[in-house]
A and B are shown apart, each in its own frame.
Chain A
Amino acid sequence: MHMADALLSPAVGGAMCAVSAAANAYAVKKIKKDDLCEKKIPVMGVMGAFVFAAQMINFTIPATGSSGHIGGGILLAAMIGGFPALLSISAVLIIQCLFFADGGLLALGCNIFNMGVIPCLIVCPLVFKPLLKNGRQWGRIAAASILAVVVSLQLGAFGVVLETRLSGITALPFGTFLFLMQPIHLAIGVAEGIITAAVLCFVYKIRPEIMESTFDGAAIQNGVPMRNVLIVLAVVTLLVGGALSLFASSYPDGLEWAVGKTAGVEELEADGAVFKGAASLQEATALMPDYDFKDAGEDGSGIGTTVAGMVGGVLTFVLAGAAAFGISTFKKKRKGASPA
């Protein structure tokens, strides 16, 4: 589910980065208010590392022969609370981005939102917790975790589709993309939900106090108006998206896409049909590319320009390769010449 830089436009990536940064900053503020803040940090760090380790354990899905691993958003939120869980997941995603190239630097905002903000700040307080308010029996924990994981994966997958579509890099139609992503993530969600349920039931049986404390005692959880958080996030998205698209449109040589995309964002929230219109309009304009293969060159032949462009491209690659090769050979030689 990690999105890559290459499929994002700067406006969408930038806006989502701002949203996720705001959500994280809010979480930090909430945690700092807690008396146990200092003690919570090692727990959060180790739990983040736990998610990493747990993702490496493959389980075999019975009767299919395939295997999967857990994602961990809901699991962490249930164990240590929504805000600390968001910070842990963000740390994990940054490490995955930097050290495994899983998702990109610009795409971090999207990834943190889809896999962190959605399960920890939206699904956990709105779906998971209400279900467990009146008693925490085995069946209730199981049902709540399966439902919460499925909902957060569906929302996350929808986020991926929406963000990719708004960026306009892939030509995949919105509906097709949606029909590919949602069922796949429904299957993944059910499997992950069952595992999450099993883990939480086990932990609750052996050490009930861990979950009890995140539900009842924790000062962090009390009096957090979820509505305010969501409003702030929405405002930040609109502001940053708007600012970025204004900035983009002031370029003369056409970052036209950004305007189209951001117009798409606003339309979407207003009306689905308008969005469809905007999307098709944007599709039509995108078919007139900057890179004009058919354009006739000064000497009159379009093919000539194309071939020249290709040869130019190949030469650039060769030049870059040669420069890199030259530098490394030079470095090796110098090392060989002066044995330190």
Chain B
Amino acid sequence: MKDKIRQLYALEQLSGGHSFVHKLHPAVKLLTAAVFIITVVSFDRYAFGRLIPYVFYPALLMALSETPYSMLLKRFLFTLPFCLFAGISNIFFDRASAFAIGGVTVSYGVVSFFVIVFRVYLCVMAVLLLVSVTPFAEITASMRRLGIPAVFVVLFEMTYRYIGVLFEEAYSMVTAYSLRSGGASGIGMKDMGSFVGQLLLRSFDRADRVYSAMKCRGYALRVFPRGRGKLERRDWIFGSVTCLLCIAFRIIDANALFAGIFRGIA
């Protein structure tokens, strides 16, 4: 339980770095991540070779931003189960053989299984890298600039901040429960109503107090001009190069080209 909350704020700590990627404009980072994901997702389900060039994006971004690889990889593994389920079913339902290598026939199902896993890897990495190089305040600032209503952005900020607070509350309640119940690991079903209900009431009261405190400090639902405004030259270069490459790899089969060159040499 404690682990999960540490996970949440660990990414935010990473986002305080000073690398080239961190300094990019948040809107540019968001746009390139979106273009990357959409192009990756738009390939059909057997296009493993076509997806390979896209591995450069997470690899280079991670190296440039000095993001620890193991941390992101762990999160990728957590997201895998549902996709593995969908992927493995492909192996069973899609048995037409795609090609044979050294006497072993590989079916289309197997190919599409690897395509799904690889796709998950690319998409998850793109999102996690986006967050690990962009401070939270800049994320919300660009949400505002994108025209998302202030009501929602403030709500988003508050939810994020209060997760930590309410988590502490829940954690101490769970600890108290387990101490009084001889070290039970979960909450018994019959106590769940009053337990969660209690947490809910405490949250409600806390929200009241938070509102009063905010009001005392002059809170009003205004749009605050925050974050950077203009795009700099490096933003233009990074954004256009990355997006163009993503689209180019979508149109040109780079892997086949590469293979052709390799065959030419051999």
Q: Which residues in window 112-128 of B have CB below 8 A to A? A: 112, 116, 119-120, 122-124, 126-128
CA distance A10 to B119 in the complex (A): 13
A313 touches B255 (CB 8 A): yes
Interface bits A70-87 vs B (CB < 8 Å: 1, else 0): 100001000100000001
Given contacts A38-B221, A100-B75, A317-B52, contact A10 B151 (CB under 8 A): no
**A281 at the B interface (CB under 8 A):** no
CA distance A203 to B75 in the complex (A): 36
Q: Please, which residues of chain A bring their CB within 8 A of the CB of B187?
A: 57-60
**B155 at the A interface (CB under 8 A):** yes
Interface CB pairs A-B, < 8 A, 29: A2-B82, A3-B82, A6-B41, A42-B214, A45-B158, A46-B207, A46-B210, A49-B167, A50-B203, A53-B169, A57-B174, A79-B200, A88-B155, A90-B152, A95-B156, A100-B7, A101-B76, A104-B37, A195-B193, A201-B193, A255-B42, A287-B108, A302-B99, A303-B100, A308-B266, A309-B49, A312-B258, A320-B59, A331-B66
A62 touches B211 (CB 8 A): no
A10 touches B204 (CB 8 A): no
A104 touches B124 (CB 8 A): yes
CA distance A315 to B111 in the complex (A): 19
Set B56, B100, B123, B166: member contacting A104, Cβ < 8 A? B123
Given contacts A58-B187, A320-B55, A323-B60, contact A46 B149 (CB under 8 A): no
Q: Which residue of A28, A52, A307 has the most chain B CB atoms within 10 A of its CB atom?
A: A52
Q: Please, which residues of chain B bring their CB within 8 A of the CB of A42?
A: 158, 207, 210-211, 214
B60 touches A10 (CB 8 A): no
CB-CB nearest 3 A-B residue pairs? A198-B193, A45-B158, A202-B197
Q: A305's closest neighbor in chain B, by CB? A: B259
A100 touches B120 (CB 8 A): no
**A262 at the B interface (CB under 8 A):** no
Q: Please, which residues of chain B bring their CB within 8 A of the CB of A327?
A: 60, 63-64
Set A8, A171, A299, A324: member contacting B263, Cβ < 8 A? A299
Q: Please, which residues of chain B bring their CB within 8 A of the CB of A48?
A: 155, 158-159, 162
CB of A25 to closest CB in B, whole Å: 7
Chain B interface residue count, Cβ-Cβ cutoff 8 angstroms: 118
A-B contact count (CB 8 A): 355
Given contacts A171-B89, A293-B98, A309-B49, contact A52 B167 (CB under 8 A): yes
A98 touches B112 (CB 8 A): no
Q: Which residue of A70, A171, A327 has the most chain B CB atoms within 10 A of its CB atom?
A: A171
B151 touches A105 (CB 8 A): no
**B25 at the A interface (CB under 8 A):** no
B34 touches A50 (CB 8 A): no
Q: Please, which residues of chain A bring their CB within 8 A of the CB of B104?
A: none
**A276 at the B interface (CB under 8 A):** no
B156 touches A91 (CB 8 A): yes
CB of A71 to closest CB in B, whole Å: 12
Q: Please, which residues of chain A bring their CB within 8 A of the CB of B43?
A: 290
A5 touches B199 (CB 8 A): no
Set A60, A104, A203, A313: member contacting B188, Cβ < 8 A? A60
**A257 at the B interface (CB under 8 A):** yes
**B238 at the A interface (CB under 8 A):** no
Q: Please, which residues of chain B bring their CB within 8 A of the CB of A109?
A: none
Q: Which residue of A49, A94, A176, A200 has the most chain B CB atoms within 10 A of its CB atom?
A: A49
**B38 at the A interface (CB under 8 A):** yes
CB of A253 to closest CB in B, whole Å: 7
Q: Which residue of B109, B189, B208 has the most chain A CB atoms within 10 A of its CB atom?
A: B189
B60 touches A320 (CB 8 A): yes
Chain A interface residue count, Cβ-Cβ cutoff 8 angstroms: 117
Q: Please, which residues of chain A bring their CB within 8 A of the CB of B255?
A: 309, 312-313, 316
CA distance A102 to B131 in the complex (A): 13
**B176 at the A interface (CB under 8 A):** no
CA distance A197 to B11 in the complex (A): 36
Q: Please, which residues of chain A bring their CB within 8 A of the CB of B169?
A: 53
Set B108, B151, B188, B194: member contacting A31, Cβ < 8 A? B151
A7 touches B210 (CB 8 A): no
Set A13, A79, A99, A312: member contacting B262, Cβ < 8 A? A312
Q: Please, which residues of chain B bring their CB within 8 A of the CB of A100?
A: 7-8, 75, 78
Interface bits B126-163 vs A (CB < 8 Å: 1, else 0): 11101100000001000000000101101111111111
A289 touches B162 (CB 8 A): no
**B245 at the A interface (CB under 8 A):** no
Given contacts A56-B167, A255-B42, contact A70 B196 (CB under 8 A): yes
User: Which one of A116-124, A162-170, A226-234 is at the B interface?
Assistant: A162-170
Q: Which residue of B87, B188, B196 has the most chain A CB atoms within 10 A of its CB atom?
A: B196
Q: Which residue of B66, B122, B130 has the most chain A CB atoms within 10 A of its CB atom?
A: B66
A308 touches B263 (CB 8 A): yes
Set A32, A88, A95: member contacting B163, Cβ < 8 A? A95
**A286 at the B interface (CB under 8 A):** yes
- Could you list 8 further interchain pairs (A-B, Cβ under 8 angstroms) beyond the known A2-B82, A49-B159, A248-B42? A5-B41, A6-B122, A10-B38, A45-B155, A56-B170, A60-B189, A198-B196, A305-B263
